[in-house]
């Protein structure tokens, strides 16, 4: 069922990937949601830094490899049916490429509820 050697079986389904939610381990804030393959989970466990799979670029990526905004993963949790993960992280800088701490910085009605923690123009050239 799972291609990850762990106590909890993961189910990557037909697509070969599942969503992983990055959550600030201290504040509980949800920082971002991205997708992971078995390889991304393995690399995350090996390095202690969050890795994901980019659906558009079709490649494994390490969060913060370009920006320096690395996520140190303190714990990985799996849900009851093994098809979603939480990365509980210590986030350097901000998670969002817009400069906000969290990618979920707006309500659906357009109200800004998040905090901008860096200037994206200074980070991404």
Q: Are 99 and 33 in contact (CB under 8 A)?
A: no
Closest C-alpha to 27, from 90, 105, 75: 90
- Does residue 24 have a known ligand-binding role? no
Region of 46-54, 58-66, 82-90 interacting with its own copies (CB under 8 A): 82-90
Question: How do beta strands 51-54 and 59-62 pair?
Answer: antiparallel
Give yes or no for residue 52 binding its own copies (CB under 8 A): no
| Sole binder of its own copies in the list 19, 38, 64, 93 (CB under 8 A) | 19
Region of 46-54, 59-67, 69-77 interacting with its own copies (CB under 8 A): 69-77
* Token duo for residue 109: 């009605």
- Does residue 83 have a known ligand-binding role? yes
């Amino acid at each position: 069922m799972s291609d990850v050697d762990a106590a909890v079986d993961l189910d990557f389904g037909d697509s070969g990937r599942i969503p992983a939610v990055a959550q600030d381990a201290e504040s509980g804030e949800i920082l971002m949601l991205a997708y992971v393959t078995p390889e991304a989970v393995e690399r995350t466990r090996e390095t202690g830094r969050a890795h994901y799979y980019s659906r558009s670029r079709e490649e494994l990526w390490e969060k913060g490899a370009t920006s320096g905004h690395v996520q140190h993963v303190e714990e990985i949790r799996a849900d009851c049916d093994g098809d979603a993960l939480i990365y509980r992280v210590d986030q350097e800088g901000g998670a969002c490429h817009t400069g906000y701490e969290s990618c979920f910085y707006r309500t659906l009605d357009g109200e800004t509820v998040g905090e901008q923690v860096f200037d994206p123009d200074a980070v991404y050239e």
